[in-house]
Amino acid sequence: MNVPFFTILALLLLPRVALALDSDRYQPAKISSMLQSYDLKGSKMNLSGDVSIQQGTIKISADKVTIFKHPDTGKILRIVAHGSPATFSQLMESGETMYGESRHFEYRAETADLIMTDQAKLKLGEKNRIKANYISYNQVSQKLLAKGMKKGDRTSTVLYPTKKS
C-alpha cells in the first residue's frame, strides 16, 4: 500500500488537537427535528427534517439521523447521519474545535470510530484541514485514514506548523 507523505504527516500532527472532551458524553443530549419516530422495542430513533443534536460541546446538524441504542442499557451504540452536508463539531481538550462535514457519516460509540464518506472534510483547529471521499478517525487511538473511494480519487491535506513557545 502506497501511503502519501502528507497523510503520514497528518497522522503525526493530529494527536496534538484531536483528543475530544471526555465530559461531553455525560451531558444530556438535546435533539430537535421536524419529525421524530422511536422504535422502543428495537431501540432505534429516526430523526428527519433539519435535525439538530447537541450534547455538551458536540453539535450535529443533518437532514436525517438514525440513532441505534442498546435495548437493555439505552446506551447509544451508533449514530448515522445524512445531509447536504451533514456536519458535526466538538471542542477538543486542547481548546481547539474539530469540525467535520460530509454527505454521510457514522459514529460507532463502542469503538469511538467516526467514518465520513462522500465529499468529506475534516478541520482540526483553525487551519489544519483534510479533504477526501473517505475519512475514518478513531478517538481512542487517534489514528486517521483519508482516501479516495474509487480509482483516481485524491486526498488533500493542509497542515500548519506549530508555533514555538
Percentage of the residues of the chain whose pLDDT score is greater than 90? 39
Cα separation of 118 and 143, whole Å? 20
Question: Quick one: pLDDT at residue 136?
Answer: 92
Which range is least confidently modeled, 14-18, 112-116, 151-155? 14-18
Mean of the pLDDT values across residues 15-35? 71
Question: Quick one: pLDDT at residue 18?
Answer: 47
Buried-state track 46-82, b at ≥16 Cβ within 10 A, e below 16: ebbeebebbbbbbbbbbbbbbbbbeeeeeebbbbbbb
Q: Is 128:13 a contact under the CB 8 Å cutoff?
A: yes
Q: Which domains does the chain have, with CATH numbers?
A: 5-19+29-158 (2.60.450.10)
Q: Which residues contact 103 (CB under 8 A, 6 or more apart)?
A: 82, 83, 84, 85, 86, 117, 118, 119
Q: Is 33:51 a contact under the CB 8 Å cutoff?
A: yes
The residues pairing with 143 across neighbouring beta strands, listed in sequence order, are 138
Mean of the per-residue pLDDT values of the chain:
82
Mean of the pLDDT values across residues 77-95? 90
pLDDT band at 73 (very low <50, low <70, confident <90, very high): confident
Cα separation of 141 and 19, whole Å? 10
Question: Quick one: pLDDT at residue 78?
Answer: 92
